[in-house]
């Protein structure tokens, strides 16, 4: 079931189909509104498929990709093979990651968010510190 807050964030995308896929960097699933997925595929289509690393990347990136729909009860049904791979229990976390939804095993999510080896203040400064700000 999608929480109300996520439904609000999805706005017009709520009536789209969705793409569910494995995350590249984390042990979670990503749910992409189909319109967002088309943007990603447009970028991938620009890669030269005659370059082996590009071809290998495209194949791995799209491995296990499935189209899912919001059912009449407002649920997104995760395919069983992906569900078994990532969720050993029924405790999951749905989180917004700008233009996608991430679906995590609750324990994995808590471990990632609370990782003592990651200094979030340093990461924030490194990623966002050089952003120019528009002051009106």
Render pLDDT for 93-123 as a digit per residue (tens, 0 to 9): 999 888 889 999 999 999 999 999 999 999 9
pLDDT above 60 for 134 = no
Confidence of residue 133 (pLDDT cuts 50, 70, 90): low
Q: Please give the average per-residue pLDDT across 42-54, as a whole number.
A: 97
Report the top-level CATH class of 4-126: alpha beta
What phi and psi, each to the nearest 5 degrees, are found at residue 65?
-65, 135
The residues spanned by each domain of the chain are: 4-126
pLDDT above 50 for 8 = yes
pLDDT above 50 for 135 = no
Global pTM?
A: 0.83
């Amino acid at each position: 079931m999608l929480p109300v807050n996520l439904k609000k964030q999805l706005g017009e995308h709520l009536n789209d189909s969705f793409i569910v896929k494995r995350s590249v960097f984390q042990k979670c699933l990503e749910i992409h509104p189909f319109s967002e997925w088309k943007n990603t595929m447009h970028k991938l289509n620009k890669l030269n498929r005659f370059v082996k690393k590009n071809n290998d990347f495209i194949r791995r990136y799209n491995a296990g990709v499935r189209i899912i729909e919001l059912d009449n009860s407002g649920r997104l049904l995760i395919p069983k093979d992906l569900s078994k791979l990532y969720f050993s229990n029924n405790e999951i976390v749905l989180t917004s990651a700008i233009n996608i939804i991430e679906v995590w095993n609750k324990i994995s999510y808590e471990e990632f968010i609370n990782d003592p080896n990651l200094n979030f203040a340093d990461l924030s400064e490194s990623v966002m510190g050089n952003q120019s700000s528009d002051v009106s």
